[in-house]
Amino acid sequence: MDTNALIKQAEQQHLLSETQILQILEDRNCNASLFAAADRVRKKYVGDEVHLRALIEFTNICQNHCLYCGLRVENRSVTRYRMTPQQILQLTQKAAKQGYKTVVLQGGEDPYFTADVLVPLLRQIKAMDLAITLSIGERSYEDYRAFKEAGADRYLLRIETTERTLYEKYHPNMSFDNRLRCLRDLKRLGYETGTGILVGLPSQSLHSLARDILFFQKFGADMIGLGPFIPNPDTPLKNTPTPSLTSALKVMALTRLLLPDINIPATTAMEALQSNGRFKALQSGANVIMPNITEGEARKNYALYPGKAAAAQAPLGLRQELETALRAIGRRIGTGYGGHTHLFDKSHGHTNSL
């Protein structure tokens, strides 16, 4: 089938096979029509509101070895920090005052933040009437349950790649099965569960990306966060090529076609690769932005990849300037919590109440 016809099919039925996804990923001439179709699906299912999530990067201490990440334990050139629960609470209060409805607490895998430390903090944040998203990596079922009971609503844990051999190559001492176990536990506990990948890791094929997209659909993700892999000079992958923004946008747009009603952020890595990257993402299927409200040195030291801090500060990262920028593309800041509304009935392949 002609690629444009495939895109049309996906826009209407939200179904594609692995080979069909591959054909779209390989075809350089279909990009504009793919992005436009994803933009229409975004508008139809999740509307013109752009939901904001205040991102707090509360610790850059990490015990993992992820080969691509600047927070990896072996990286001695980053200054480590850990906010106190009090500092986190202060930032959260600020976010609530500025009108945010969701805070995202993200961090390295820092053993200090046990359930005993986090549970009272989560309860206090919940009392501010905020939705809480956690992004703190792999934990036990018991921890996930304790966080949920204390008020966490959502959890972000990227699968990073669904190709087991690649996953295990880039994550020494970690197991793909445990990553899957975590995602299943989160879902079972009733979290709105977000996952996602890095696009353009060395040795990652388009075939592999096609399978990643089908995994998102099969898993029934509530949110997909993905971005280009950006080589970090302080990591073992420093000398590997940087992928194009287009490659990440294509994976994101296909994700929107197949999971029409989920939340998809325009990620900071897209902005780091190209200024206005997030703006492009919002017009190619994305409906969420996560402004970074981390302050001072911490913001600089949460150095996952180069260019991140500057990108976070670009106009779309600042709430005040967002309104105008969004209006120019017919969008507006969301007023509610912006959770996943299940408008698409996966089992029947049709749409509920639209």
CA distances from 143 to 75, 82, 115 (A): 27, 20, 6
* 135/162 with CB nearer ligand SAH: 135
Q: How far apart are CA 338 and CA 105, in angstroms?
A: 17
- Residue 257 sits in the site that holds ligand SAH (CB under 6 A): no
Which sign, positive or negative, has the C-alpha torsion 320, 322, 324, 327?
negative
- Residue 200 sits in the site that holds ligand SAH (CB under 6 A): no
* 106/263 with CB nearer ligand SAH: 106
* In the complex, least distance from residue 167 CB atom to ligand SAH, rounded to whole angstroms: 12
* In the complex, least distance from residue 199 CB atom to ligand SAH, rounded to whole angstroms: 9
Q: How far apart are CA 99 and CA 128, in angstroms?
A: 11
Contact positions with ligand SAH (CB under 6 A) in 215-234 = 227, 229-230, 232
Assigned token pair, 301? 């030291």
Dmax over CA atoms of the chain, in Å, equals 58
Assigned token pair, 280? 């492009």
Helix, strand, coil tally for the chain in percent (to 5): 45, 15, 40
Q: How far apart are CA 350 and CA 348, in angstroms?
A: 5
Binding characters for ligand SAH, 91-120, by CB under 6 A (x = yes): ---------------x-xx-----------
Contact positions with ligand SAH (CB under 6 A) in 294-333 = 304-305
Binding characters for ligand SAH, 143-182, by CB under 6 A (x = yes): --------------xx-x----------------------
* 232/287 with CB nearer ligand SAH: 232
The residues that touch ligand SAH, with contacts defined as CB under 6 A, are: 68-69, 106, 108-109, 135-137, 157-158, 160, 198, 227, 229-230, 232, 269, 304-305
